[in-house]
């Protein structure tokens, strides 16, 4: 993150986010003007007179700051980015109220040794300069929350970096760092960490102490073994280890219960562990450009998966064909070994239900396929998978049948169950010309007794019937907010690349 570029104030101190490394380039344009020494000094005096707390010298082609910069005693936010500075005057360390300092996109080769005197500093942006080392006094910035140092020439971090106990966001990407300090794990409040594009081969054991870390970016390094300290950080939401040389994943990778994004693109993986399917919240998975020949069937348990990138692997048939047919075709094959090229339609419906309701609905959906055939002359196949928070319904069918028609059919079937006497259901005639038109679907008393027993209401059938009707009403109501789209399995869109 870095302050928004502006002519006057730093626009309330708002930040803009950088997710990827950018090449070093200077912003130019007619909206900005160069400032000579006299203009800089004049501007400083005007800021002092008006008592401004925000000062911006953004993109003024400044090569050197005058000592008068030390007069800005009340300034809390200072933007010196996109200039031609090669050094900073020591007077800048006199800004005792400074909270945010942005000196990105300059030509700095060093920083004042007295930098640690800026004890009020909370955010420091040093990216895209030519710094090869950081002053030891950096460890005195006890209130620092954000430190951005991407695209410099740093190879060794200060030994006392761990004293920055309030640091929450650290970006040291695109440097030449070979290893992290042994006490790196003392940065207990770290939430976001970007160490990508360095020369790291391992993480220190203390790394496992980063119990607040949510986002880890470690791509474009030299990892050959998956960093084991990450398995001790179950709170991680994002893990990016793309463009390394990792050849193997441990058997158990299900520790990350909150993980949303996993990027292992362009490594040397030959297989994925079965436990990958236990990452119940995973929404984006990128394992493209590895050496995979097969996929674990457990991937079908990733019900929240939105993006799956598999390009550039060595899959055998029929997977080599299906990876280009989209996520639905692939999941269909993994679960049922089903050839999705036949043109079947597949409809996913997820119903959030409590445990007792899941049991009840599973029991009564057993007659749905027969009902669809008898009442609607529809041939379909229903697969029901019980998940932690509900039921995943997967309906396979041929021909023209849209989502609304499927939901109507499910709702009608459940209403028939509710209106039945517990022994049978009367079905509508299929064809008035058929003598044998009226069919019956039996709902056995034994099934009701199973539900009664499950809810420990064996002795009070009236309560069971009332509970049964109430729960069916709730299930029917939950059918309508569905947002899933029915897709031809063999025409499902290609999974988008995980970025």
* Domains identified in the chain and CATH numbers: 1-154 (3.80.10.10), 345-479 (3.30.70)
Q: Which one has a higher pLDDT value, 445 or 97?
A: 97
Query: Whole-model pTM?
Result: 0.67
**In sequence order, which residues have a C-beta less than 8 Å from that of residue 26 and are 6 or more positions away?**
59, 82, 105
Sole residue written with tokens 């030299």: 222
Q: Which tens digits make up the pLDDT trace of 140-179?
A: 999 999 999 999 999 999 888 889 999 999 999 999 999 9
Mean pLDDT of all residues belonging to the chain: 78
Nearest residue to 281 via CA among 258, 265, 301, 263: 258
Calculate the CA 38 to chain-centre distance: 50
Q: Which tens digits make up the pLDDT trace of 181-212?
A: 999 999 999 999 999 999 999 999 999 999 99
Residue 255: CB atoms within 10 A of its CB come to: 17
Question: How does residue 355 score in pLDDT terms, banded at 50, 70 and 90?
Answer: confident
How confident is the model at residue 143, as a pLDDT? Answer: 95
Span 428-444, average pLDDT: 38
Q: Which tens digits make up the pLDDT trace of 54-68?
A: 999 999 999 999 999
Q: Are the beta carbons of 21 and 197 closer than 8 angstroms?
A: yes
Is pLDDT at 5 greater than 50 in this prediction? Answer: no
Task: For residue 43, give both structure tokens.
Answer: 């501007």
Residue 428: CB atoms within 10 A of its CB come to: 12
| Cis amide bond preceding 318, omega within 30 | yes
How confident is the model at residue 434, as a pLDDT? Answer: 40
How confident is the model at residue 112, as a pLDDT? Answer: 94
3-class secondary structure per residue, the chain: CEECCCCCCCHHHCEECCCCCCCCCCCCCCCCCCCCHHHHHHHHHHHHHHCCCEEECCCCCCCCCCHHHHHCCCCCEEECCCCCCCCCCHHHHHCCCCCEEECCCCCCCCCCHHHHHCCCCCEEECCCCCCCCCCHHHHHCCCCCEEECCCCCCCCCCCCHHHCCCCCEEECCCCCCCCCCCCHHHCCCCCEEECCCCCCCCCCHHHHHCCCCCEEECCCCCCCCCCHHHHHCCCCCEEECCCCCCCCCCCCCCCCCCCCEEECCCCCCCCCCHHHHHCCCCCEEECCCCCCCCCCHHHHHCCCCCEEECCCCCCCCCHHHHCCCCHHHHHHHHHHCCCHHHCCEEEEEEEECCHHHHHHHHHHHHHHHHHHHHHHCCCEEEEEEEECCEEEEEEEECCCCCHHHHHHHHHHHHHHHHHCCCCEEECCCCCCCCCCCCCEEECCHHHHHHHHHHCCCCCCHHHHHHHHHHHHHHHHHHHCCCCCCCEEHHHCCCCCCCC
Q: Which tens digits make up the pLDDT trace of 8-59?
A: 333 333 333 332 333 334 444 434 578 899 999 999 999 999 999 999 999 9
Question: How does residue 400 score in pLDDT terms, banded at 50, 70 and 90?
Answer: low
How confident is the model at residue 381, as a pLDDT? Answer: 77
Residue 305: CB atoms within 10 A of its CB come to: 18
How confident is the model at residue 421, as a pLDDT? Answer: 39
**In sequence order, which residues have a C-beta less than 8 Å from that of residue 251 and are 6 or more positions away?**
273, 274, 275
How confident is the model at residue 8, as a pLDDT? Answer: 35
Residue 318: CB atoms within 10 A of its CB come to: 15
How confident is the model at residue 195, as a pLDDT? Answer: 98
Nearest residue to 194 via CA among 174, 211, 179, 212: 174
Q: Which tens digits make up the pLDDT trace of 291-341?
A: 999 999 899 888 888 899 999 999 887 787 777 777 777 877 777 655 444
How confident is the model at residue 357, as a pLDDT? Answer: 72
Is pLDDT at 454 greater than 50 in this prediction? Answer: no
């Amino acid at each position: 993150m870095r302050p928004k570029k502006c002519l006057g104030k730093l626009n309330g101190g708002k930040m803009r986010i950088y997710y990827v490394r950018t090449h070093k380039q200077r912003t130019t344009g007619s909206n900005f003007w160069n400032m000579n020494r006299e203009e800089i000094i004049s501007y400083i005096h005007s800021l002092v007179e008006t008592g401004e707390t925000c000062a911006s010298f953004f993109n003024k082609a400044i090569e050197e700051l005058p000592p008068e910069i030390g007069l800005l005693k009340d300034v809390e936010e200072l933007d010196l980015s996109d200039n031609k500075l090669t050094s900073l005057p020591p007077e800048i360390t006199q800004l005792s109220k400074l909270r945010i300092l942005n000196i990105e996109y300059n030509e700095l080769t060093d920083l004042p040794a007295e930098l640690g005197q800026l004890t009020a500093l909370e955010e420091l942006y040093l990216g895209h300069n030519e710094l090869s080392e950081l002053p030891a006094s950096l460890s005195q910035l006890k209130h620092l929350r954000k430190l951005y140092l991407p695209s410099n020439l740093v190879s060794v971090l200060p030994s006392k970096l761990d004293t920055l106990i309030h640091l929450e966001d650290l970006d040291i990407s695109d440097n030449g760092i070979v290893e992290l300090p042994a006490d790196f794990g003392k940065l207990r409040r770290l939430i976001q960490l970007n160490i990508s594009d360095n020369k790291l081969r391992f993480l220190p054991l203390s790394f496992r102490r980063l119990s607040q870390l949510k986002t880890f970016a470690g791509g474009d390094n030299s990892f050959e073994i998956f960093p084991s300290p990450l398995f001790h950080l179950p709170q991680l939401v994002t893990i990016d280890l793309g463009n390394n040389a990792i050849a193997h994943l441990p058997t158990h990778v299900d520790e990350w219960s909150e993980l949303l994004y996993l990027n292992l693109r362009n490594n040397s993986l030959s297989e994925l562990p079965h436990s990958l399917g236990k990452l119940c919240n995973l929404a984006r998975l990128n394992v493209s450009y590895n050496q995979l020949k097969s996929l674990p069937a457990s991937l079908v348990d990733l019900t929240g998966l939105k993006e799956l990138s598999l390009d550039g692997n060595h899959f055998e048939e029929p997977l080599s064909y299906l990876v280009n047919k989209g996520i639905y075709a692939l999941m269909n094959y993994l679960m049922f070994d089903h050839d999705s090229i036949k043109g079947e339609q597949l409809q996913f419906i997820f119903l959030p239900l409590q445990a007792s309701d899941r049991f009840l609905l599973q029991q009564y959906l057993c007659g749905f396929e027969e009902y669809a055939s008898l009442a609607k002359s529809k041939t379909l196949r229903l697969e029901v998978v019980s998940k932690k928070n509900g039921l995943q319904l997967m309906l396979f069918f041929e021909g023209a049948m849209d989502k609304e028609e499927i939901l109507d059919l499910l709702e009608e079937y459940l209403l028939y169950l509710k209106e039945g006497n517990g022994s049978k259901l009367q079905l509508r005639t299929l064809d008035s010309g058929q003598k044998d038109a009226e069919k019956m679907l039996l709902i056995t008393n034994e099934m009701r007794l199973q539900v009664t027993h499950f809810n420990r209401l064996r002795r009070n059938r009236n309560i069971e019937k009332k509970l049964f009707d109430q729960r069916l009403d709730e299930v029917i109501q939950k059918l309508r907010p569905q947002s899933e789209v029915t897709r031809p399995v063999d025409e499902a869109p290609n999974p988008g690349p995980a970025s």
